[in-house]
Structure 1
Amino acid sequence: MNTNLLPITGLPGIARAARQPVRLFIAALTLMLGLVSGSAQAQFENRMAINCTNPNPQEIQPWTVTNPLTSSTAIGTILMERRFALSTSFTFGATSAVVAHDLVTGAHWAMGFGPPVGADGIVPTNIDGIGFKWEALSSDGVARTLRKEADPLAVEKINVLFQPNLGIKTGSTIASYKQYLVLTKDPNALPPGEIKVTHVAGGLQVKIYAADFLKSVGVSLGSTFKVPTLGPGCHQSITYDSTGMVGIGGGPPPPIPNKCDVVANQIIPVDLGSIPIDRFKKLNDTSPPKHFEIALSNCAANAKPTISFRDKATPPNADKTVLRLSAPGGQSLAQGFGIIMTREDGSRERITYGDPGAAKKYEMTLDKPGRTAKIPLSAQYIRTGGDAEIKAGYAGGSAEFTFTFP
């Protein structure tokens, strides 16, 4: 709510009185800007870009998961991506050029190497069903997909302008790129085991160029151009082979996580019923177990989900296997009791609660034909206090559960 606004009453009269000074001030300001602009322009000279060095990786971001891989993930979904920039350094020509020059960065999947590249720019990798795509993020705001073409695509360019008063003999240009890992087949048909892309199909190459052109040639972003091979101007290139392009920055992407569909804020109510207090004769006596399960659907074929639990009571019980009781406002809380959960998969292991990241993780059972993952559980009241401590009342508890996909 904007509580600091003032009433508008009386402002029109003030605005009329101030109108003329405002016009004069703006006119003077415009004149000053014109003078500054003209002075700054005189500090630049047209030069040629020479002695280019191969692009070096800069501002490399790690691979991140864009969309989870489950049994229901659609073909064409981007699973992982990363962004990075490549820098080209150059030297300004020794003398002023009569005409203006551009330094153009271009890139493409090179012709004559490896298998064909689809119209979508996706190439096969060492994992059947996972494709690799490369995009240039040009400064005009357009993302340009690299394709297999005879000539490179212009993805970035700068004016080659020298500032004599600074005396700096070198310059640089940066082109930004994105790489993607894309699902190209039914996720249920992916190969078993770890899904880790280490290289694209053998023989494929991406070539990136830096070339000096006369501005009058008119190389525009998004157009293709012939790479000059003669003359003093810059005409350098760098090649990334089938292994090198996924290893830019020190290594290939991490394994693609195999996941299941997870419903956020899922609530599973478990009603333990009303149990007479005299049912608990001695310490550690329990109520009849209430069976339930936690399940995930649409699991990827190689999914290995685990689940961990946290007692939501504050503070939690000192015994990490017992949930502390809680009661709604106005309700009398039972005393000398807690709630335990037990695995019902044959182990009869009692669940341990802990803080996120430190809690014990329990493997869920994956039903591959049904693409579901489950953990069968039971919950019970347990007596934790002596005769003088127990008291009937409301006995609720709450556990938070978290799924992890290695």
Structure 2
Amino acid sequence: MNTNVLPIAGLPGIARAARQSVRLFIAVPMLMLGLASGSAQAQFENRMAINCTNPSPQQIQPWTVTNPLTSSTAIGTILMERRFALETAFAFGPTAPLLVHELVTGAHWATGFGPPVGADGLAPTNIDGIGFKWEALSSDGVVRTLRKEADPLAVEKMNVLYEPSGMGNGATIASYKQYLVLTKDPNALPAGEIKVTNIAGGLQVKIYAVDFLKSVGVSLGSTFQVPTLGGGCRQSITYDSTGLVSIGGGPPPPIPNKCDVVANQIIPVDLGSIPIDRFKGLNDTSPPKHFEIALSNCAVNAKPTISFRDKATPPNADKTVLRLSAPGGQSLAQGFGIIMTREDGSRERISYGDPGAARKYEMTLDKAGRTAKLPLSAQYIRTGSDAEVKAGYAGGSAEFTFTFP
């Protein structure tokens, strides 16, 4: 949603401060708490991790728009993303004071299923032109992209240390991010709602939790083979083409189709100086002044709308008439207002209201030129009796807000 100002006046328009709505997304990093010192470590016992459970989603953040989709959005742009963690619980095995174990979390696109996954980790989705990417946010500060490999990639690990006076169970957490990425010209995307519901062709991601002797030397960022022998954890879970985008809830919302919006846009409309005797009776109007509000580089499926708010305080009781205002030192005209009318054939008068409650007016989208327009006209209108009418400065200001369903 972007908010702009439309000053309308009999003299040059008065520039008012524009207001823009901003959404601030704050990501809270997860911390992997370790041991602070060797002296603290002495109270722990080396154990094996056994009886691992399937990972459960934790700290799930909703899909959010990273970059708007317009006709000028570059291929490779991240459109939406979300962050979450997968927690795997386990039990502690028997005491093994001379053998240090570690629990390794691994992940990869499984081979042998579906179409290729690109070298950049992008997998095709049900929407031709939108790719899906999965990254692991490892505790060593390295971001690791999941790729289609024969063996899992080690993305997280922890020492299996048991504190005798504590609980008999433990847990390991791995943090991840998923992305929806534009992979083709935005003007070639399919018509209609753009909503990713599944990954194409039966592709799968597998997540592992495997107990290793620390001496094996599995390092973060390396691939490993899951051992077939031993009593430790060898847990795995497979996310199929639908489950990949639905971890912890439903699939992503539709990708918003937008246009380029100039922040703090001001469109001055000068209605000129009109003699007061031009208005013979109630509701008489001045000649219309034509103008338009336009947006460029609209996505093929964009459906922008505009709502308007009278910036005067208090606004006019008649929601279709702007209240007049004047700068300091200027005498304000009395018995008049300003109306705006749609010039797209309906000749409907624009209604003003508070944000969220005001009526929304659809813009006309030129798909060939990727522009959206709302043609309008503005006029003075007489609203007072003969005794109420008085000449003076006749300014007004309307705030307009774009929304993209």
TM-score (norm 2): 0.90
Give 3-state SS (helix, strand or coil) of 1:202's partner.
helix
Rounded to whole Å, the distance in 2 between the matches of 1:65 and 1:210 is 32
Match in the other structure for 2:118? 118
Match in the other structure for 1:54? 54
Q: Is the 8 A contact 1:68 1:79 kept in 2?
A: yes
Q: Is the 8 A contact 1:310 1:356 kept in 2?
A: yes
Rounded to whole Å, the distance in 2 between the matches of 1:38 and 1:205 is 41
Rounded to whole Å, the distance in 1 between the matches of 2:41 and 2:306 is 64
Match in the other structure for 2:142? 142
Match in the other structure for 2:96? 96
1:74-93 correspondence to structure 2 within 5 Å: 74-93=74-93
Rounded to whole Å, the distance in 2 between the matches of 1:181 and 1:173 is 27
Q: What whole-Å deviation, never above 9, does each CA across 1:312-364 have from its counterpart, x for those lacking one? A: 11111111111111111111111111100000011000000001111000000
Q: Is the 8 A contact 1:43 1:165 kept in 2?
A: no
Higher normalized helix content (fraction of residues)? 1
Match in the other structure for 1:377? 376
Match in the other structure for 1:160? 160
Q: Residue 343 of structure 1 aligns to which amino acid in structure 2?
A: R
Give 3-state SS (helix, strand or coil) of 2:174's partner.
strand
1:263 aligns with 2:262: yes
Greater Rg by CA: 1
Match in the other structure for 2:69? 69
Give 3-state SS (helix, strand or coil) of 1:397's partner.
strand
Rounded to whole Å, the distance in 2 between the matches of 1:147 and 1:392 is 73
1:398 aligns with 2:385: no
1:205 aligns with 2:204: yes
Match in the other structure for 2:305? 306
Give 3-state SS (helix, strand or coil) of 2:400's partner.
strand
Alignment RMSD (CA, Å) = 1.1
Match in the other structure for 1:189? 188
Q: Is the 8 A contact 1:209 1:237 kept in 2?
A: yes
CA apart distance, 1:209? 0.2
Q: What whole-Å deviation, never above 9, does each CA across 1:47-72 have from its counterpart, x for those lacking one? A: 11011011111111111111111100
Q: Is the 8 A contact 2:45 2:95 kept in 1?
A: no
Match in the other structure for 1:217? 216
Rounded to whole Å, the distance in 1 between the matches of 2:229 and 2:318 is 79
CA apart distance, 1:97? 3.5
Gaps of 5+ in 2: 1-35
Match in the other structure for 2:17? none
Match in the other structure for 1:6? none
CA apart distance, 1:219? 1.1
Q: Residue 306 of structure 2 aligns to which amino acid in structure 1?
A: I
Rounded to whole Å, the distance in 2 between the matches of 1:230 and 1:236 is 13
Rounded to whole Å, the distance in 2 between the matches of 1:359 and 1:230 is 67
Rounded to whole Å, the distance in 2 between the matches of 1:228 and 1:337 is 85
Match in the other structure for 2:344? 345
1:105 aligns with 2:98: no
Match in the other structure for 1:4? none
How many equivalent pairs are there? Answer: 370
Q: Residue 274 of structure 2 aligns to which amino acid in structure 1?
A: I
Gaps of 5+ in 1: 1-35
CA apart distance, 1:249? 1.6
Q: What whole-Å deviation, never above 9, does each CA across 1:240-297 have from its counterpart, x for those lacking one? A: 0011111112211111111110111100000000001111111111110000000000
CA apart distance, 1:217? 1.3
Match in the other structure for 2:281? 282
Rounded to whole Å, the distance in 1 between the matches of 2:97 and 2:277 is 100
Rounded to whole Å, the distance in 1 between the matches of 2:74 and 2:162 is 51
Q: Is the 8 A contact 1:206 1:239 kept in 2?
A: yes
Rounded to whole Å, the distance in 2 between the matches of 1:362 and 1:55 is 47
Q: Is the 8 A contact 1:45 1:97 kept in 2?
A: yes
Rounded to whole Å, the distance in 1 between the matches of 2:279 and 2:38 is 92
Q: Residue 393 of structure 1 aligns to which amino acid in structure 2?
A: G
Higher relative contact order (CA 8 A, sep 6+): 2
Provide the identity percentage: 88
Q: Residue 378 of structure 1 aligns to which amino acid in structure 2?
A: S
TM-score (norm 1): 0.90
Range with greater deviation from structure 2 (287-296 or 248-257): 248-257
Match in the other structure for 2:22? none
